Amino acid sequence: MLMKSQLPTDNILYVQDVKSRIHLILELEELLLKQKITYLQDVTDSDATTTYEKGRQQLSDKLDTLRRSVKLDFLSRDDVPLRTRARWKQSLRATGVTEEEARLIQDYLRIEATMLTKSGEPVSDLYAALFDADEPTRKQAFLSIEEAFRTNESVIQRLFSQLVDLRQARASASHQTGYEALAFAELGRIDYTSNDVDHYASIIQTYFLPIKQQFQLEQQTFLGKQALHPWDVRQSAYTQIDHHLTGSDSSFLDKAQAILENVHPSFADLLKEMRQANHLDIGAWSNKAGGGFCEYLPVERQSFLFMNRMQTFDDLVIFMHEMGHAVHHDTMKETYDGLQPIPLEVGEFAAMSLELLTMNEWHQVIPDRKDVARAKLEQIRSIVEFLPQTIIVDRFQSWLYAHPDHLPEERQASFARLRETYDTDVIDWSETPDWKGLEWMSVIHMFETPFYYIEYAIAQLAALELYHRFTKDPDETIKDFLAALALSQTHSIQEVYARAGVSFLPSDVGMKELLTFLEGHIEVWTKELEQSDDGDVKKKKP
């Protein structure tokens, strides 16, 4: 557990020197992050909850005021870069989350983290079962998760309706056309518009839905089923691999460090530093908040990584994703000032890229070469599986705030309709028809970080391009990758991507080249599996 820091004195706003105010900003930011982490490690700990909520109430406004005062001082100077000036002007027009919103968000996080099935089993313990090869096991887990959310549906729906109303009221108070415009301002988005999101939706529909459908039909054949159900999505010919990643957290970290060493020694050194500083919390237990993240502690100039290990191979992918954020933090620590957020499109690009850049080292934890091929196919399959979801969630949020007076049943219909538009029609929802339109209740982003989702699609396509480059010239690719991440506080997303040698708003020509590359690798890895002596990866008997 993190040590609980003392609150700063109340006279911080009287500090006139800009450098001193920036230092106070970093101190406050780190303090709030540490309190948040301690709270998330056990959301039922009343002391941690009280400390976190008290700190947030006392310090968030002061932190915002300090940032505004420093930005206003800098904006009066002539040496502030135009892009920085534009971002700061936009952020000064944005409004902060109200206390009521923050309370509702914490209420949802508490509900999600402590949710129980009817038999009293923590829902958080069931997610690993969705990867189980036994269909009755994963079906029961899926239905129990759905049932738990449905049991809490009235509370979650009412809570979310209140959030929509509060956010729309803030948008009106700040003279924005709607909450989507305000959210763009709050997220610091000045490099693209909502119309550009439509470009990514079109790309995923055109180029990735056919591949997803192909993977799904292979899943159906592998499972020997007449129809694929929602509890089958994590089960394919590639999910059951023999790996050496179970056991203690320490053993897991040793193996992860060895993989990072071979990709780039500085990545392994960074993990070693985080271990020495005890800046890792990767175990799973009841009452610990779900999900994973990696936050930058600006005073210590180091990252803190938080996740829940489920003792599956997916743990490694999640861990490398979060280490990608740590690598990103490390590259820009010389320029980080706490005045503007790290662009999420760059942050997720860093994280998703490290997932892919480590793939060629998976043989260190997977003993059989065919299992290595199987794991790589599963990585690409999971990416293709998820991409449509990013568009569905983003377009759903756009609909929500464009129609703020909607009813809960209209929410359900909208989410289901968007699924039909931006996803394949392979999944049979007949046994869980309502969940098709209600699964949004399990997406934490909807509640905690609204409109933070399209970044995953933008960053994932860029990461795939980087991996394409990496397979041809690994040394130069890593060099450009790190140089690009170092620009994230000072340059546009387009400039960062260009420095890394990848595309923002990729063209049809670029996408066709990328898809040719991916389909070629899928074919090679599939052939390796077809040469398997036991033949169990070709088709599972019904």
* pLDDT confidence band for 14 (50 / 70 / 90): low
Task: Flag whether pLDDT at 296 surpasses 60.
Answer: yes
Share of the chain above pLDDT 90, in %: 68
Q: What is the mean pLDDT of residues 249-253?
A: 95
Nearest to 489 by CA among 340, 326, 304, 347: 340
Strand arrangement of the beta sheet that strand 293-297 belongs to: 280-281, 302-306, 293-297
Alpha carbons within 13 angstroms on the beta-carbon side of residue 52 total: 21
Q: Write out pLDDT tens, residues 373-403.
A: 999 999 999 999 999 999 999 999 999 999 9
CA–CA dist 318, 316 (Å, integer): 5
Q: pLDDT: is 360 or 57 the higher one?
A: 360
Q: What is the mean pLDDT of residues 419-444?
A: 95
At residue 539, the pLDDT reads 46
At residue 274, the pLDDT reads 97
Give the largest CA-CA distance in the chain: 74
At residue 468, the pLDDT reads 97
Task: Flag whether pLDDT at 498 surpasses 60.
Answer: yes
Task: Flag whether pLDDT at 232 surpasses 80.
Answer: yes
At residue 13, the pLDDT reads 47
Task: Flag whether pLDDT at 358 surpasses 50.
Answer: yes
CA–CA dist 110, 444 (Å, integer): 11
Q: Which residue type sits at 507?
A: S
Q: What is the mean pLDDT of residues 455-471?
A: 96
Q: What is the mean pLDDT of residues 71-99?
A: 80
Q: What is the mean pLDDT of residues 36-43?
A: 91
Q: Residue 512: count other Cβ atoms within 10 Å of its Cβ.
A: 12
Task: Flag whether pLDDT at 81 surpasses 60.
Answer: yes
At residue 3, the pLDDT reads 41
Mean pLDDT of the chain: 90
Q: pLDDT: is 75 or 95 the higher one?
A: 75
Q: Which residue type sits at 60?
A: S
| Helix, strand and coil in the chain, % to nearest 5 | 65, 5, 30
Range scoring the smallest mean pLDDT among 16-20, 141-145, 198-202, 235-239: 16-20
Q: What is the mean pLDDT of residues 194-206?
A: 91
At residue 15, the pLDDT reads 53
* pLDDT confidence band for 532 (50 / 70 / 90): low
Q: What is the mean pLDDT of residues 168-174?
A: 91
CA–CA dist 319, 321 (Å, integer): 5
Task: Flag whether pLDDT at 98 surpasses 80.
Answer: yes
CA–CA dist 376, 372 (Å, integer): 6
Q: What is the model's pTM?
A: 0.86
Q: Write out pLDDT tens, residues 118-144.
A: 989 999 889 888 988 899 999 999 999
Q: pLDDT: is 341 or 317 the higher one?
A: 317
At residue 463, the pLDDT reads 98
Task: Flag whether pLDDT at 540 surpasses 70.
Answer: no
Query: What token pair was written down for 369?
Result: 């070469």
